[in-house]
Structure 1
Amino acid sequence: MDTSRPNDAELLALARGGDAAAFDLLVAGYRRELAAHCYRMLGSPHDAEDALQESLLSAWRGLAGFEGRSSLRTWLYRIATNACLRMSARRPRRLLSPDHGPARRDTADLGEPVTGPVWLEPWPDDVPADEPDPAASYLRREGVELAFVAALQHLPGTQRAVLILREVLEYSAVEVASLLDTTPASVNSALQRARKAVERRVPPVTQRAELAALGSDGARELVDAFVAAWERADVDAIVAMLADDARFTMPPLPAWFDGRDDVARFLTERVFATAWRLVPVRANGQPALACYPQNPDDGRFRLGAITVLSLRSGRITELGSFLDPELHHLFGLPRELPKENVDESGPER
């Protein structure tokens, strides 16, 4: 019995005949990159999943109209991009803390959580840093770095789509014009404006380049040293790893702290009032940490934040700590560290 997978042409014919399972197989290889595309457009994994589901439903319903003049992948990107443009027109743009309000100095008042579709959210990074597969390039590096995705949210929807399609996905101006039902001249004009706007908001050196300069050993050593210092509440050691202009943000709380001195004071006066255990993860192509504060009532360590580290010249420029529990399950992490894996020296890693 031949159990081999049908080729794409066979799957397309079956799907056009109403075979939903064939359609699922046909689009399965594109789901992750389409989700990443929607994330860049919308700044939220949750919104990206909504847009992806809407796109796949539209593709299923409109499959009879797919004439094959472009590749299936390009056709799916057209549908997904337009779904994101519709969604972005209905929802407020996602923000980082400095876009929401000024930094604070009072560590006693962090404000009330600002709920709703307000904050830029991190993207779980499940692609190895040295992944050789070209398709993986759509899911990592500059394309999903926090600063880049945050800068995209300041663009009008069409400019956002043009920049992503041209610069990240490397479609030609003619192809993008076809995707967006416009002209190549309009695409090129939008691209120039989008480039200028984004360049004003992103660091001159990408996180990919910063990590490459550190090397895999250097990056691992920095993260390990940070984890060790945090778990022993060694503020001086943490401060030594920070840039002078380091920031500490914590959405959905509106408070954030700007500058190494204010970050150090916040750590001393608030953060290390409890014990912590940290587990290294990755998000947005950057080092990140799953942060488990200790519950004072039962002594257990429960997941409280995903903190994404941004780097410059080997120092930490931002600790983006995301507190929303709805985000945490996206990283596939346990809500609580097993008791047998936690001792005085930290969690088992």
Structure 2
Amino acid sequence: MTDASPLGTAEAAFIEAVRTGDPARLALITERYRRELQVHCYRMLANYEDAQDLTQETFLRAWNKRESFKGHAALRTWLYRIATNACLDFLDKRNDRTPVPSELPDAELPYLQPYPDRMLPEDPQESVVARETIELAFIVAVQHLPPRQRAALILRDVLGWPAPTAAEALKSTVASVTSALQRARVTMREQLPDRRLDWRSPATHELSRDEREVVKSYIDAHERNDLDRLTALLRDDLRFAMLPDPGAVITTAKDAVDGWVSGGLFQRGYDDWRCIATTVNRMPAAALYLRTPGDPAYRLLNLAVLHIADGQIAELTGFEVAGKPWLGLAPAL
């Protein structure tokens, strides 16, 4: 994803389209990069809808700056540079997107949204690292970094850019980018102490057999209102959050289920479930549909995103997902 050989096919085609003033051709050339640029913006912002907007802003800026592209860098590098600075400009203007204090949990990110796997890049090289760098834990950890440290980490450690290329993109010096990267790595180690931190090496992006089996059991327990089975699936140090509600809790399995029941779940009116297995952020998830008395249909209620370890659910992050068609989930069954 770094600078390519002198004037590759895409670069030559882009320059020719600029010369001939062909906006349709320019749009066609840049459109092939949309998905990966959107993932890049999502890593920067942790919000799918903002990532969509900033990707569109990237294409608008690319159009306005089209005459400046001379092919000295790969077209992909040029677009990433524009996208990175569009995100930095966005973060500079948003007081609610300041770095998250290190002691606050993921549920203190009310703007965090899941990323639909169907919108991930199809490029196999991107998919090799996608799971490690698109999982919720990584996305949340990155939000603890100041914006320019965030950009330095993503450009250098996730995309694998050389220091001079990253420095040019950030309009900075190699020394400044290197320093920002070193500070970012320290914070990431604090936020992800048990996770692999070398995102440039190959990583799996397929769900394991254990993960698929646990999701199947979780869905079955929900649909049968089998609280004993649901409790058995949860670790006794479960991390639970329901966004956008503030606060994540570490709780025992029994206390978690008891809390859900006391809140009304699995009681009359909230006991007729249908669930669909899915994936977001390369993580196993279950879309939960509830049918209330008198309603012939099951209505989409929540999305439960699961982090599974050793055959049990270690983390459960719930999202209110009604009215979010970009997830690709049917609103009713």
The letter for the 1-side match of 2:56 is Q
The letter for the 2-side match of 1:334 is A
Map of 2:6 onto structure 1: none
Q: Are 1:133 and 2:95 matched, yes or no?
A: no
Map of 2:170 onto structure 1: 180
Q: Are 1:216 and 2:213 matched, yes or no?
A: no
CA distance, structure 1, for counterparts of residue 54 and residue 328 of structure 2: 21
The letter for the 2-side match of 1:31 is R
CA distance, structure 2, for counterparts of residue 290 and residue 178 of structure 1: 43
Q: Are 1:233 and 2:234 matched, yes or no?
A: no
CA distance, structure 2, for counterparts of residue 55 and residue 204 of structure 1: 35
SS at match of 1:237: helix
Structure 1, 250-259 or 235-244: larger mean CA deviation: 250-259
Structure 1, 155-164 or 227-236: larger mean CA deviation: 227-236
The letter for the 1-side match of 2:259 is F
**For residues 238-292 of structure 1, what are the alpha-carbon distances to aligned partners after superposition, in whole Å with 9 as ceiling and x for unaligned?**
2212122112222123365431233121233222121211101111111011111
CA distance, structure 2, for counterparts of residue 146 and residue 283 of structure 1: 9
Q: In structure 2, do the counterparts of structure 1 residues 206 and 232 end up closer, same or farther at CA, with 3 Å as the change threshold? A: farther
| Aligned-residue identity in percent | 40
Q: In structure 2, do the counterparts of structure 1 residues 215 and 37 end up closer, same or farther at CA, with 3 Å as the change threshold? A: closer
**For residues 100-127 of structure 1, what are the alpha-carbon distances to aligned partners after superposition, in whole Å with 9 as ceiling and x for unaligned?**
66xxxxxxxxxxxxxxx93211111127
The letter for the 2-side match of 1:333 is L
Report the Cα offset of residue 317 of structure 1: 1.5
Structure 1, 199-208 or 46-55: larger mean CA deviation: 199-208
Map of 1:108 onto structure 2: none
CA distance, structure 2, for counterparts of residue 230 and residue 135 of structure 1: 35
Q: Are 1:98 and 2:89 matched, yes or no?
A: no
Specify which of 239, 244, 260 is matched with residue 267 of structure 1: 260
Report the Cα offset of residue 171 of structure 1: 0.5
Aligned length: 312
**For residues 145-199 of structure 1, what are the alpha-carbon distances to aligned partners after superposition, in whole Å with 9 as ceiling and x for unaligned?**
1011111111110000000111111111111111111111111111111011111
Map of 1:344 onto structure 2: none
Specify which of 150, 153, 160 is matched with residue 160 of structure 1: 150
CA distance, structure 2, for counterparts of residue 212 and residue 32 of structure 1: 20
Q: Are 1:335 and 2:331 matched, yes or no?
A: yes
Report the Cα offset of residue 17 of structure 1: 3.0
Work out whether residues 106 and 248 of structure 2, in 8 Å CA contact, stay in contact via their aligned partners in 1. no
CA distance, structure 2, for counterparts of residue 11 and residue 193 of structure 1: 37
CA distance, structure 2, for counterparts of residue 309 and residue 36 of structure 1: 20
Q: In structure 2, do the counterparts of structure 1 residues 231 and 147 end up closer, same or farther at CA, with 3 Å as the change threshold? A: same
CA distance, structure 1, for counterparts of residue 193 and residue 114 of structure 2: 18
The letter for the 2-side match of 1:172 is P
Specify which of 277, 300, 315 is matched with residue 303 of structure 1: 300
CA distance, structure 2, for counterparts of residue 61 and residue 73 of structure 1: 17
Q: Are 1:46 and 2:39 matched, yes or no?
A: no
Report the Cα offset of residue 203 of structure 1: 4.7
Structure 1, 176-185 or 88-97: larger mean CA deviation: 88-97
Report the Cα offset of residue 206 of structure 1: 5.3
Report the Cα offset of residue 128 of structure 1: 9.0
**For residues 72-110 of structure 1, what are the alpha-carbon distances to aligned partners after superposition, in whole Å with 9 as ceiling and x for unaligned?**
000001000000001112222287983566xxxxxxxxx
Report the Cα offset of residue 310 of structure 1: 1.2
SS at match of 1:239: helix
Specify which of 221, 246, 269 is matched with residue 254 of structure 1: 246
Work out whether residues 42 and 48 of structure 1, in 8 Å CA contact, stay in contact via their aligned partners in 2. yes
The letter for the 1-side match of 2:133 is G
CA distance, structure 2, for counterparts of residue 99 and residue 143 of structure 1: 16
SS at match of 1:264: helix
Q: In structure 2, do the counterparts of structure 1 residues 144 and 90 end up closer, same or farther at CA, with 3 Å as the change threshold? A: same
Specify which of 276, 279, 283 is matched with residue 280 of structure 2: 283
List aligned pairs for 1:73-152, cutoff 5 A: 73-91=76-94, 92-93=96-97, 98=105, 118-126=110-118, 133-137=124-128, 140-152=130-142
Report the Cα offset of residue 213 of structure 1: 12
Q: In structure 2, do the counterparts of structure 1 residues 132 and 22 end up closer, same or farther at CA, with 3 Å as the change threshold? A: closer
Report the Cα offset of residue 18 of structure 1: 2.5
Q: In structure 2, do the counterparts of structure 1 residues 226 and 76 end up closer, same or farther at CA, with 3 Å as the change threshold? A: same
The letter for the 1-side match of 2:69 is F
SS at match of 1:49: helix
SS at match of 2:194: coil
Tell me the TM-score normalized by structure 1.
0.81
The letter for the 1-side match of 2:275 is L
Q: Are 1:204 and 2:207 matched, yes or no?
A: no
CA distance, structure 1, for counterparts of residue 18 and residue 230 of structure 2: 56
The letter for the 1-side match of 2:238 is A
CA distance, structure 2, for counterparts of residue 37 and residue 259 of structure 1: 33
The letter for the 2-side match of 1:227 is I
Provide structure 1 residue ranges, at least 5 long, that are not aligned to the other structure.
Answer: 1-6, 102-116, 338-349
